[in-house]
């Protein structure tokens, strides 16, 4: 019998969860499970039988680079096939982000991804929070951070990214106020980036005071 992939362990036991079967139907980079189950309703009775396909993405982390001295932020743009499939523009404006390696701390992940995708280093980092991104079909939990970065006057020409992953990212520098306006106009179509920017819009006055005092 083929061993179960480490990225797709059985769903853990819970008083609300009544499992019937749990199988891995695809064992690629991100495994897919087919789970047949019932859940316990509010009155204690079991639901009807459900069959769900669940994508095992695991944990990821992103960082919003912010320069409190100039009031600017840095984002990246890259090609995203699922965006094209959804009828969106395939070049998405995002925060630097990546998946956690086994046993890796989320802050270490964002420090690595920030360097790989922008060339920048954050000397202070604050955690925003952790959020599920697709709870209707995937187990992904995304850890959000904001990092203090001294941004250059203009973005360096060319692109970055890991060549062995065929990754190409382009740096975008924006006044934070313009980025907030883009979110308000629904021009930033990437929800994690929008959420991070909305957090910054609320917290920028505090960060400006704390992060420019040393």
Tell whether the model's pLDDT for residue 1 goes beyond 60: no
At 28, give phi and psi (nearest 5°): -100, -155
Q: What is the mean pLDDT of residues 136-144?
A: 96
Lowest mean pLDDT among 1-5, 44-48, 170-174, 192-196: 1-5
- The pTM of the full predicted model, rounded to 2 decimals, is 0.92
Cα–Cα nearest to 75, from 97, 59, 60: 97
- Tally Cβ neighbours within 10 Å of residue 178: 12
Confidence of residue 162 (pLDDT cuts 50, 70, 90): confident
- Tally Cβ neighbours within 10 Å of residue 24: 17
State the catalytic residues: 165
Q: What is the mean pLDDT of residues 103-132?
A: 95
Tell whether the model's pLDDT for residue 109 goes beyond 60: yes
Contact of 28 with 8, CB cutoff 8 Å: no
Contact of 31 with 23, CB cutoff 8 Å: no
At 165, give phi and psi (nearest 5°): -105, 5
Instruction: Give the whole-number percent of the chain exceeding pLDDT 70.
Output: 98
Contacts of 40 (CB under 8 A, 6+ apart): 15, 16, 17, 18, 46, 47
Q: What is the mean pLDDT of the chain?
A: 94
Tell whether the model's pLDDT for residue 183 goes beyond 90: yes
- Tally Cβ neighbours within 10 Å of residue 119: 13
User: Could you say which DSSP state residue 159 is in?
Assistant: -
Long-range Cβ contact pairs of 66-69 (< 8 A, separation 24 or more): 66/146, 66/147, 66/148, 66/149, 66/176, 66/200, 66/204, 66/207, 67/148, 67/149, 67/150, 67/151, 68/148, 68/204, 68/207, 68/208, 68/211, 68/212, 69/150, 69/212
Contact of 127 with 144, CB cutoff 8 Å: yes
pLDDT at 6: 85
At 40, give phi and psi (nearest 5°): -85, 125
Q: What is the mean pLDDT of residues 51-71?
A: 96
- Tally Cβ neighbours within 10 Å of residue 149: 23
Lowest mean pLDDT among 129-143, 144-158, 181-195: 144-158
At 82, give phi and psi (nearest 5°): -60, -30
Q: What pLDDT digit, counting tens, does each position of 66-104 carry?
A: 999 999 999 999 999 999 999 999 999 999 999 998 889
């Amino acid at each position: 019998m083929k061993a179960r992939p480490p990225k797709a362990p059985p769903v853990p036991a819970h008083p609300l969860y009544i499992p019937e079967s749990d199988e891995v139907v695809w064992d690629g980079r991100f495994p897919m499970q087919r789970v047949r189950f019932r859940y316990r309703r509010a009155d204690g009775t079991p639901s009807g039988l459900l069959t769900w396909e669940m994508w095992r993405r695991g944990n990821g982390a992103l960082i919003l680079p912010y320069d409190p001295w100039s009031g600017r932020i840095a984002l990246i743009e890259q090609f995203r096939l699922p965006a094209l499939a959804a009828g969106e523009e395939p070049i998405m404006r995002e925060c630097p982000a990546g998946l956690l390696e086994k046993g890796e701390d989320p802050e270490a992940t964002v420090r690595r991804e920030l360097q790989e995708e922008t060339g920048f280093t954050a000397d202070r980092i604050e955690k925003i929070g952790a959020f599920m991104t697709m709870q209707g079909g995937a187990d992904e939990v995304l850890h959000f951070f904001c990092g203090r970065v001294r941004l250059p006057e203009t973005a360096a020409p060319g692109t970055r990214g890991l060549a062995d992953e065929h990754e190409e990212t382009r740096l975008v520098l924006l006044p934070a106020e313009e980025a907030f306006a883009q979110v308000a106009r629904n021009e930033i179509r990437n929800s994690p980036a929008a959420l991070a920017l909305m957090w910054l819009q609320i917290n920028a006055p505090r960060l400006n005071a704390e992060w420019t005092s040393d």
